[in-house]
Structures are given as C-alpha cells and as structure tokens.
Structure 1
Amino acid sequence: MEPNYKNYSVDELCEALDSIDKQAYPDRVESIKAELYQSA
C-alpha cells in the first residue's frame, strides 16, 4: 500500500523525499514532489 502523502506535513514530505530510495520508488518521489509543490 502506497503512503497517503496528502496527509503529510511539509516537514514530513521533505524527510520522506530525503530518505526514499529514488531508484526503487520513482512514482512515489513524483507524488512527494507534487504535494510539496501544492503546499508552496
């Protein structure tokens, strides 16, 4: 099950982006970036 990034705070999104395996989960990386962009 994929995390629901809509419920993450900006700090949590940044932490997730820093710690995620970008090669293994490229779709999740894009989801995190999209949520950060909407939060800006």
Structure 2
Amino acid sequence: MKIVTLNMRGWGSSAKRRKLSQFLKAGGLLLLWNSGIFSLNHVIN
C-alpha cells in the first residue's frame, strides 16, 4: 500500500477539483482533513 500526501494550499480551486477527480478516477480512498490547509491522502492498494 502506498500513501501519497499532497499539500494543496495555495492552489486554485479548479486545480484542486482536477486533482480530486483524478484521484477518484484512480480508485483511491480520499481522506480530507484540516480544511484550512486542504491536505489529502491518496491511498493506493
């Protein structure tokens, strides 16, 4: 299992939506926490 952590603070909202949709299409599990920083973990099985 690989865990990819991205810090998306400072990105445009469209870039965030693109990354989120790419991760969802990849079939990973998205965990979103600390909305002020907008970090996420992409867990790949």
TM interval, short-chain normalised? 0.3 to 0.5
Structure in which a larger fraction of residues adopt strand: 2
Structure in which a larger fraction of residues adopt helix: 1
TM-score, scaled relative to structure 1:
0.44
Question: Which structure: larger Rg?
Answer: 2
TM-score, scaled relative to structure 2:
0.42
